[in-house]
Amino acid sequence: MYAMDFPLIFKSALLAGLFAIGYAALAVPTASPNVVFITIDTLRPDHLGCYGDKQIGTPNIDTLAADGTRFERAYTAVPVTLPSHTVIFTGTYPTLSGVHDFAANKLSPTQATLASVLKDNGYTTGAVIGSAVLDSRFGLNHGFDFYYDHFDFNRLQESNLDEMERPGNIVADVTLDWLSKNYQKKFFLWMHLYDPHYPYRPPAPYSEEYRDRPYDGEIAFADAQVGRLIEFLKNKGLYQNTLIILSGDHGESLGEHGEKTHGFFIYNATLHVPLIIHLPGDMHARTVQNLVNLADIMPTVLAALNIQLPAHVQGQSLLPIISPKKEDNARSLYAETFLPRLHFNWSELRGVETENYHFIDAPKPELYDLRKDPGETHNLFAEKKAVTEEMRVRLAKLIQQYTAGQELAEKTGLDPALMERLKSLGYAGFSGGSNSGANIHALPDPKDRIQTYEIFSDAMADSQHGQYASSIEKLNAALKTDPDSVPGHYLQGLNYYRMHEFPKSVAELERVLQLSPGYALAAFHLGLAYARVSSWDQAIQTLRRALELDSTNFAAAYDLGLSYLQKNMTGEAAAAFRQSVSIADGYAPGHRALGELLLSQGQLDEALAELHKAAELAPEDASTHSALARALAAKGLASEAQDEMRKAEQAPPQ
């Protein structure tokens, strides 16, 4: 069976001024404080009690704010989970880290993170993650002794889609378990709560209390998990001597500007985030109005701990502005989204925000007066040319300042299983453009494509839940606006494959490769579609091309081996299966296929080794146990063969 046999598609921050007059009250205790960092995904500040929302119950976050400093104007640089957390944990902007998105790259292991610096300074480090979009394969585990992600990317049945996110109570359970074993040490803990992310499905009793406001229900549920962690710290006498930071990673549009969720635009609905800092020994409530960025968190923590900053850090310590002394607020904040460019070949968006204005560079530029128009609904670009030009210059200077030659991120392959799982979380798990080449003004403005994007997002959700006909209908509507849409034809090809309409799948995926010849995943899927119509020569040629484009695609090597077998090219098939398991030693189908082929050739010892490996990796796979039984029998090991046959008979249906 082929690896794309849907739904099993992809088996495939020392600050010297801290101790100066005016900052003395902010000095941390002499004992090394612990550090706790809580990020809550997709959290708008105006949906928290401490930020003025009177309809929601967030008592734990509100109490933390009453014991610390609340920043009124904190912003992310990227309204997407992975790059935003990369900004937080490296103190750098995407122009340096290279992490603009989640597709085909990971944080460089040579780039220092908050965790790696604290680990080097004697901290025990632990993290518990609520979503696969922060899986360790993206590199944010760098510096953590314990990084609880544990998401299974290989089980792709529709019933398992929810396994790509972890409810907040489970995150808190694992967090408290780790903390109970490590609280007597000097520790750094990160707890990531994903719950407010779309779709909004709060558990009881929040589902009833917030029946008409499920997004708020998710936030209230997340607040309860924050309360569990704070209660543990207080019960153990750790709260006062712990540096606690709570922030969002980005906001949520909730329909503003036509955007349902986040990532596509860079208006403040998705850039504005809550930020609360509780300094050890300091229980005074403060509110800071200054502009701050999430890149400032790492330098702030390190400054508070008197730990020297790594040289590359681009954010700035917030300790001076936490002082009651009024500070200058003449700061400019950078923001970007490359989602439209990377996935749809529409223009990226870059912007700069000052105390009074927000400028967004786009094919149709935008300027907003935030004092008069906080909702950013009246574009002043045509009315305030001088201000626009000044802001454009500010943006260009920021980009130059934050760019240091080649970006640091490592390029990786587009793991088919990972890309499919990201689609299940509402992310565009494909690549339809690039971050270089055409001038943005020659590309479509995202403002002119928001309806198409939302139709596409709905179509992607339908496809993920097996509603292929509905997905196809919506994609056809989107393709009327953008007939050369790479992701449109790509997802359409996958839909037709899942519906077993293989000739139509071939046609759509061929169109993708005409538009984007270097699209590795499209080549992979086209190869599988060719196999379904028994076009073995084309399947072999296309799967070989997929491996040339992405040498990490172990599933492509596996399916290439199966295609060779159809042509009785056993030597080539064995080589392809060996390539598959050399790329991914934990890929059970590759070991099984290689073992069965070797068995058919009488190479019993090597066949047994491969089949034993496959059985260890997939102990519930009946076909593996059957093949192993045959190999054992051929070796004269009858008793062991019978044991394997019993395992095969007792294995659950696949």
The mean pLDDT value for 608-626 works out to 93
**Lowest mean pLDDT across 4-18, 454-468, 557-571:** 4-18
- Structural domain contains residue 538: no
| Range with the poorest average pLDDT among 148-152, 314-318, 323-327 | 323-327
> Which CATH number fits the domain that encloses residue 45?
3.40.720.10
Question: Does the residue 438 lie in any domain?
Answer: no
Q: Is the pLDDT reported for residue 429 higher than 70?
A: no
Q: Which residues, including other chains, have CB under 8 Å from residue 173's CB and lie 6 or more apart?
A: none
pLDDT at position 282, please?
78
Q: pTM of the full predicted structure?
A: 0.83
Q: Is 166 part of a structural domain of the chain?
A: yes
* CA–CA distance, 452 with 219 (Å, rounded to integer): 29
User: How many CB atoms are located within 10 Å of the residue 561 CB?
Assistant: 26
Domain tally, the chain = 1
Has residue 458 got a pLDDT over 60?
A: yes
Interatomic CA distance for residues 190 and 239, integer angstroms: 15
Does residue 421 lie within any of the structural domains? Answer: no
Residue 148 belongs to a domain = yes
Query: Whole-angstrom Cα distance, residue 507 to residue 575?
Result: 30
Percentage above 70 pLDDT, the chain? 86
- The 3-state secondary structure of 379-425 reads CCCCCCHHHHHHHHHHHHHHHHHHCCCCCCCEECCCCHHHHHHHHHC
The per-residue b/e assignment along 118-134, b for 16 or more CB within 10 angstroms, e otherwise, is bbeeebbbbbbbbbbbb
When pLDDT is averaged across residues 235-250 and rounded to a whole number, the result is: 96
The predicted pLDDT at position 494 comes to 93
Query: What is the structure's pLDDT at 410?
Result: 59
Q: What are 292's strand-pairing partners?
A: 74
Q: Does any domain span residue 444?
A: no
* Phi-psi label, residue 216: left if phi above 0, alpha if psi -120 to 50, beta otherwise: alpha
Poorest-confidence range of 152-166, 268-282, 353-367, 564-578?
152-166
Instruction: Look at residue 509 and tell me if it is in a domain.
Output: no
Which among 298, 246, 221, 214 has a CA at the least distance from the CA of 37? 246
Rounded mean pLDDT, 105-124: 93
Rounded average pLDDT over 522-550 = 96
**Looking at the DSSP assignment, which residues form a beta bridge with residue 246?**
38, 276
Query: What is the arithmetic mean of pLDDT over 154-170?
Result: 58
**What is the C-alpha separation between 600 and 515, in angstroms, rounded?**
42
**151, pLDDT greater than 80:** no
Q: How many residues does the chain have?
A: 654
Residue 441's pLDDT band (cuts 50, 70, 90):
confident
Instruction: Please give the residue range of the domain that contains residue 207.
Output: 16-325
Average pLDDT over residues 17-37: 55
Mean pLDDT throughout 61-65? 97
Question: Given 3-state DSSP classes, what are the helix, strand and coil percentages for the chain, each rounded to the nearest 5?
Answer: 50, 10, 40
pLDDT at 284: 83
For residue 356, pLDDT beyond 60: yes
* Tokens describing residue 184: 């007597």
**Start-to-end Cα distance in the chain:** 12
Tokens 């009024």, residue?
A: 326
In a domain, 117, yes or no: yes
Q: Write the single-letter amino acid at 527.
A: G
- Does residue 325 have a pLDDT over 50? yes
Q: What pLDDT, on the 0 to 100 scale, is given for residue 547?
A: 94
More confident residue, 150 or 28: 150
517 Cβ neighbours under 8 A, 6+ residues apart? none
Residue 21 pLDDT exceeds 90: no
